[in-house]
Amino acid sequence: MANLFYELGYFESAEPDLMEEFLMGCTNDPLFAEQWHLNNTGQAGGTVGNDIRTCQAWNITTGCANVVVAVLDHGLEFNHPDFINISPISFDTENGTTPSVVRGDHGVPVAGVIGATQNNNLGVSGVSPEVQLMSISSSLVLAPLLSQRLANGINFAWQSGAAIINNSWGSNSIEQQGLINDAINNAVTQDRDGLGTIVVCITHNHSASSIAFPSNNPQTIAVGAINRTQSRASFSNFGAGIDVVAPGVSISTTDRQGALGYNQTVGSNGDYTPVDGTSFAAPQVAGIAALILSVNPSLTQQ
């Protein structure tokens, strides 16, 4: 109608007055207002707009269940109330068996950044809340056979259909790095019918001018962290090989339930926590990759 009015020649201009959701209301999760990395309105002195633009992205897609994101970490709580999208396929690298188990506090917050359930009037929202999360559990302790176990986890993930693998771990002290590099190289060249799995890694939290293994493998996406004001997070490694940065300070996400995890408050208030680190910047990138593949699954890893 606006075009018709304009083409009549009787009006200087004509344009539709569209009804749009106000960005603050783009999800009903009660802790969304704290998730400045998703929508920075200046919370706690942050820079307005210094976020990853999820409200705008969610107008296009919130992800789809055909995209599987593997979380190689301490393992997920399958019964967490803010996860309804965990894949039935899982693996524990320590025992070499399924299902995965919870071996620490780190995996649940990482996974929540990627795919916590949205619009359920509960907790937080993930970046890509409609994707499937695949739990690959590991102790992540520097010990004999660690390299082989982590490589096994990567191989299990891509061979089981993961389009993206998030690795919020790393260390230059890991021995037999070739085993892990081989697994990464297989993932990015062989999975998704040759299109390649996306492998996301952290640069690490030592404020060093070099990035940590395995993010220094050029076939990974190496992720550093920024704070609320568009500056490098003080802990984030930087330097040659870094690909991208994402928010990594005071990231509100899921936690192990009740008195477990980082927030040891008894009851449902203990199911969520703010966390710092490149570990929580990387899963934002994994979530963004999941949104992209949800729209165009034919894209290659590159």
CATH number of the domain residue 62 falls in: 3.40.50.200
Could you list the active site residues?
73, 106, 279
- Domain of residue 41 covers 31-295
Q: Say if strands 91-92 and 132-137 run parallel, antiparallel, or are unpaired.
A: parallel
What total of structural domains would you count in the chain?
1
Specify the pLDDT at position 19. 60
Positive or negative: CA dihedral 117, 119, 124, 125: positive
Specify the pLDDT at position 20. 53
State the Cα–Cα distance between residues 138 and 75, nearest whole angstrom: 7
Q: Is residue 14 part of a domain?
A: no
pLDDT by 10s per residue, the chain, length 302? 999 999 999 999 998 887 654 445 689 999 999 999 999 999 999 999 999 999 999 999 999 999 999 999 999 999 999 999 999 999 999 999 999 999 999 999 999 999 999 999 999 999 999 999 999 999 999 999 999 999 999 999 999 999 999 999 999 999 899 999 999 999 999 989 999 999 999 999 999 999 999 999 999 999 999 999 989 999 999 999 999 999 999 999 999 998 899 999 988 889 999 999 999 999 999 999 999 999 999 999 99
Specify the pLDDT at position 191. 85
Q: Is residue 18 part of a domain?
A: no
State the Cα–Cα distance between residues 166 and 57, nearest whole angstrom: 20
Q: Is residue 128 part of a domain?
A: yes
Q: Give the closest residue to 159 by CA, choosing from 134, 139, 179, 177.
A: 134
Question: What is the side-by-side order of every strand in the sheet holding 244-247?
Answer: 91-92, 132-137, 68-73, 164-167, 198-202, 221-226, 244-247
Q: Is residue 39 part of a domain?
A: yes
Q: Is residue 211 part of a domain?
A: yes
Specify the pLDDT at position 269. 85
Half-sphere exposure of 276 (CA within 13 A, CB side): 12
Q: Is residue 205 part of a domain?
A: yes
The CA–CA distances, whole Å, from 263 to 47, 205, 248 equal: 27, 21, 18
Q: Which residues pair with 221 in a beta bridge?
A: 200
State the Cα–Cα distance between residues 69 and 258, nearest whole angstrom: 26
Residues written for the chain: 302
